[in-house]
Amino acid sequence: MNRFFALAAAITLISPTPLLAQATVPGTVISTGDGDTLRVQVNGKPITVRLACADAPESTQAGGKEAATRLSQFLPKNQNIQLRVVEEDRYGRSVAEVFKNGQSVNLQMVQEGRAVVYRQYLSACAATKDRYLQAEAKAKQRKLAFWSQANPVMPWDFRAGKRGTFTPVPAVSRPATPQPAAQTSNCSPAYPGVCIPPGPPDLDCGDISQRRFQVVAPDPHGFDRDNDGVGCES
């Protein structure tokens, strides 16, 4: 069964608080990742949750580490939360609005300038759309966090490679000896800076020694799972 529908089947209506006046499902925080993803225990099973309607800067982007730290402060391990699940994305993550003590963590991240409104998917928060837009406008006006930059790059543009003067994170390791011309010519252009064949066979991070190298679409091996332009980050 699709994980989204499995979650939806477990949903219960729980609170009269305006932001929670919709069906939600309880969960417990296992861990947080970057500024808009976390792992949650729901009905005895771990799932990955992507914050709905908000987009935090990537971990290799200005403000990304601070956003990740702030989310971990909001949602420490074993924190009880409520999820309003919107959908399951193409990565198998449950896209949801996360509530702590009746308050939307997604909205709070936007209010503090730790995340921006993900306008492309804002319809998922139709009932509170204006609150998100107003929160972002105020954060931008006050130059909070992400908005303190002179020319901030939107997270979705950053993932798409529109990074201005951003210098890609180099690979930690490279081949110890120069590779023959024939082998070098078989390097995939999706991974500039390192030499990885385009395949087949399909490779995983465990099959190569390189780490934290630049990835350009279409990423034939799927090394860049979070679409931040950096492959095999751990």
Is residue 93 part of the annotated active site? The answer reads: yes
Task: Tell me the residue ranges of DSSP E strands in 52-192.
Answer: 54-55, 80-88, 94-100, 103-104, 116-117
Q: Which of 70, 84, 93, 159 is catalytic?
A: 93
Dihedral angle sign, alpha carbons of residues 151, 75, 54, 170:
positive
**How many angstroms separate the Cα of 227 from the Cα of each of 86, 104, 179?**
21, 25, 29
Is residue 58 part of the annotated active site? The answer reads: yes
- Secondary structure letter of residue 152 according to DSSP: P
Is residue 50 part of the annotated active site? The answer reads: yes
SS3 134: helix
End-to-end distance of the chain based on CA atoms, in angstroms? Answer: 30
Question: Which residues are the active-site residues?
Answer: 50, 58, 93
